[in-house]
Amino acid sequence: MTNKHSWQALTVFTLSYIFAALAANSIGPLAPFLQEELGFTKGNIGLFTASIYLAAALSGIPSGWLADHLGVRKALVIGLVIQAILTCGLLTGLLPWMLLFMFLSGIGYGVVNPATGKGVMVWFSSTLRGTAMAVKQSGFTLGGVLAGVILPPIAVLFGWQKSILTAVGLLFLGAFIAYIFCPTKQDEFIQNKTENENKPNSSNSQPSSWDRKAIIFWSIIMIFFAAVQQAGTTFLVIYLVEKIGYTRVAAGMFFSLALVSGGIGRIAWGWVSDFWFKGDRKKVLIIVGLIAAAMCIILGFVPAGINPVLLGLIVFLFGFTAIGYNAVFLTLVAEVAGKENSGKATGLSLTIAYLGAIFGPPVFGLIVDFTHAYLVAWLIFGGVLALATLSTIFYRFKLSTSSYQ
Sign of the C-alpha dihedral computed for residues 227, 228, 229 and 230 taken in this order:
positive
363-397 pLDDT, tens digit each: 998 899 888 889 999 999 999 999 999 988 877 55
Of the segments 8-17, 128-137, 195-204, which one has the largest average pLDDT value?
8-17
Comparing 321 with 47, the larger pLDDT belongs to 321
Cα separation of 46 and 263, whole Å? 23
Instruction: Identify the pLDDT of residue 262.
Output: 87
Task: Give the predicted TM-score (pTM) of the model.
Answer: 0.72
- Cα-based angle 262, 265, 271 (whole degrees, multiple of 5): 150
User: For residue 368, what are the CA distances in angstroms to 41, 101, 189, 235, 359?
Assistant: 11, 26, 51, 10, 14
Tell me which of 10 and 247 has the higher pLDDT. 10
Evaluate whether 349 touches 287 at the Cβ level (below 8 Å).
no
Percentage of residues of the chain with pLDDT beyond 90: 34
The predicted-structure confidence for 46-96, as pLDDT tens digits, reads as follows 788 778 878 888 887 788 778 777 888 889 999 999 999 999 999 998 999
Looking at residue 186, its pLDDT comes to: 42
Average pLDDT over residues 253-282: 85
Instruction: Return the number of other C-beta atoms located less than 10 Å from residue 150's C-beta.
Output: 18
What residue spans define the domains of the chain?
A: 4-196+209-404
Residue 215 has pLDDT above 50, yes or no: yes
pLDDT above 80 for 405: no
Confidence tier at 126 by pLDDT (50, 70, 90): low
> Of the CATH numbers 3.40.630.30, 3.40.309.10, 1.20.1250.20, 1.10.760.10, which one belongs to the domain with range 4-196+209-404?
1.20.1250.20
Please choose, from the candidates 221, 384, 244, the residue with its C-alpha nearest in 3D space to the C-alpha of residue 315: 244
